[in-house]
Structure 1
Amino acid sequence: MSATPAPVADTAPTAHPGAAPTPRRVLAQTAFEARAILRNGEQLLVTVVVPVLVLVGLTRGTFVELDTGGASRIDFLAPGVLALAVMTTSFTSQAIASSFDRRNGVLRLLSTTPLGRGGLLAGKVLGVLVVELVQVLVIGVAAVLLGWRPDPAGIPLAVVAVVLGTAAFTSLAMLVAGTLRAEAVLAVANLALLVLAVAGGVVVPASSLPGPLEHVALLLPSGALGEAMRETLLHGVLPPWSVVVLLGWTAALGWGAGRLFRWH
């Protein structure tokens, strides 16, 4: 009489048993990323307070001569300040926060959880967009109180420009944060923001910059985002060249970040 074979246990691997569904995990990380920025006094100063002060100072002050092309001073400046706000959140804040998270082992830890590397990066990008929504609302209200009247037809196109700019500068943030030491990122990110704000075609158009800077700025993601915001909110048109430049930078920087990013 043959023995009855013992039942074989089901050893098929279960992907993250008991874990929440992927969308819920990503949304939880998104909320965490957004709160981390908005609750940090220094980050809040850079992402919201400084752009508003820049807007008020340049609009009310007479210390800077601007060729507004016939537009009012606030109509001319508000799109550029919004572009600057996008850069502060998607690049400077994200690069600094991610670099210190990497140094402290937070990124490596989170990448091994059910959230995974893809979910972590998705949460970071969505968190940036949430903060940018807050920035746009605050800066937009301040600009309207100063007399800003954007072209209504250009508002949906400006949203597209913000998303494209966010993709490009978040890719740059991940490349910098994943390849340099945290202390170096702190210096590089702030210096880069300052240089791009002054000579990158953000607050003022590339055409106002001297000599070869005009042509260089048009090829930079900062100049492309600044031009896109101005053209959409002043004239209701999204410049194709800005779209090409932002997509090109996103692809190149995203590829570089994917190849070079170190999680520890």
Structure 2
Amino acid sequence: MTTADPAGAEAALGAMRPGPSSPATRVLAQARFEAVTLLRNGEQLLVAVLLPAAVLVGLVQAESISLGDGRRVDLAVPGVLALCVISSAFTGQAISTAFDRRYGVLRLLGTTPLGRGGLVLAKAVAVLAVIAVQVVLIGALGAALGWEPAGRGIPAALVALILGTWAFAALALLLGGTLRAEGVLAVANLLWVALLGLGGVVVAGTELPARFETVLSLLPSAALGDSLRAALVDGHAAPGAWLVLTAWAVGATLAARRFFRWND
């Protein structure tokens, strides 16, 4: 006959109980939720994938739009990848952040074990995951259209994508955390259209009127587009464009920390 061992039983039960999740686990779980939510949202899917794909096909086929010297598809794909970053890191993230703030989601999540810092980090990871999906899809479409990227420039392109994501995600938090949701919806979509046409994103600044040259040299959109074209077309880095992106990223991050409001 065996006798009960309360201490041993309690230890066994303790081992069976799930312990508190680590900060990394909480961040990854929230990031997965954010990424899946973005990809399931029809409006965001339109801006993130369908419109960039349509822009790519249109640029390759529309001979009337000058893209510069070189094969059209090789010049178009880097610009469309830059547009993907702006779509997901800026437009989509600004709108989702603004409406989460309006409905109290940000305030609620900020009081959970995830914390405010964990929530911001999860959003960053989610954006990077969505952009990775966009790069694969646009890259596959570009390859089907005959795209031949410069292989030696891929590391420089990855640096440009990371810096661009940081800059535009910080700008999204600044916009989404300060204006009312309806205002963010209007401003974010308007800026997307403006940057697409005159921001040096899909069409290099050298192909736009000379009067825009000074302004374009300071825009993060042009810096991202130029750095991706330099990497994937010419196979070299663009330190000047990286410096512009870094300046915008640091400035927007500091401004977001100062002015971001968790309540509407």
Q: TM exceeds 0.5? A: yes
Q: Which runs of 4+ in 1 moved over 3 A?
A: none
| Alignment partner, residue 123 of structure 1 | 122
- After the TM superposition, which residues 84-163 of structure 1 pair with which residues of structure 2 at under 5 Å, given as runs? 84-163=83-162
CA distance in 1, matches of 2:67, 2:167: 28
| Alignment partner, residue 22 of structure 1 | 23
Check 1:57–1:30 CA distance in 2 against 1; reply closer, same or farther (3 A cut).
same
CA distance in 1, matches of 2:67, 2:40: 38
Deviation at 1:155, TM superposition (A): 1.1
Contact kept, 8 Å, 1:175 with 1:260, in 2: the verdict is yes
CA distance in 2, matches of 1:18, 1:121: 24
CA distance in 1, matches of 2:126, 2:222: 24
Contact kept, 8 Å, 1:19 with 1:114, in 2: the verdict is no
Structure 1: runs of 5 or more not aligned: 1-16
| Alignment partner, residue 66 of structure 1 | 66
Contact kept, 8 Å, 2:59 with 2:65, in 1: the verdict is no
Contact kept, 8 Å, 1:208 with 1:214, in 2: the verdict is no
Deviation at 1:65, TM superposition (A): 2.9
Contact kept, 8 Å, 1:29 with 1:120, in 2: the verdict is yes
Deviation at 1:19, TM superposition (A): 3.2
Structure 2 letter corresponding to 1:95: A
CA distance in 1, matches of 2:33, 2:217: 35
Deviation at 1:61, TM superposition (A): 2.5
Check 1:46–1:67 CA distance in 2 against 1; reply closer, same or farther (3 A cut).
closer
Deviation at 1:68, TM superposition (A): 2.2
Check 1:156–1:183 CA distance in 2 against 1; reply closer, same or farther (3 A cut).
same
Q: Are 1:247 and 2:246 an aligned pair?
A: yes
Structure 1 letter corresponding to 2:83: L
- After the TM superposition, which residues 1-264 of structure 1 pair with which residues of structure 2 at under 5 Å, given as runs? 19-62=20-63, 64-69=64-69, 71-264=70-263
User: Counterpart of 1:135 in 2: which secondary structure?
Assistant: helix
Aligned length: 246
Deviation at 1:218, TM superposition (A): 1.5
Structure 1 letter corresponding to 2:208: L
What's the RMSD between the two structures over aligned residues?
1.1
Deviation at 1:208, TM superposition (A): 1.4
Deviation at 1:238, TM superposition (A): 1.4
Structure 2: runs of 5 or more not aligned: 1-17
User: Counterpart of 2:217 in 1: which secondary structure?
Assistant: helix
Contact kept, 8 Å, 2:67 with 2:75, in 1: the verdict is no
CA distance in 2, matches of 1:79, 1:67: 11
Contact kept, 8 Å, 2:82 with 2:202, in 1: the verdict is yes
Identity among equivalent positions (%) equals 52
Question: Normalised by the size of structure 1, how large is the TM-score?
Answer: 0.91
Tell me which protein shows more helix as a share of its residues.
2
User: Counterpart of 2:65 in 1: which secondary structure?
Assistant: coil
Deviations 1:173-231 (A, max 9, x none): 00000100000000000001111111111001111121331221111100100000000
User: Counterpart of 2:30 in 1: which secondary structure?
Assistant: helix
Contact kept, 8 Å, 2:83 with 2:196, in 1: the verdict is yes
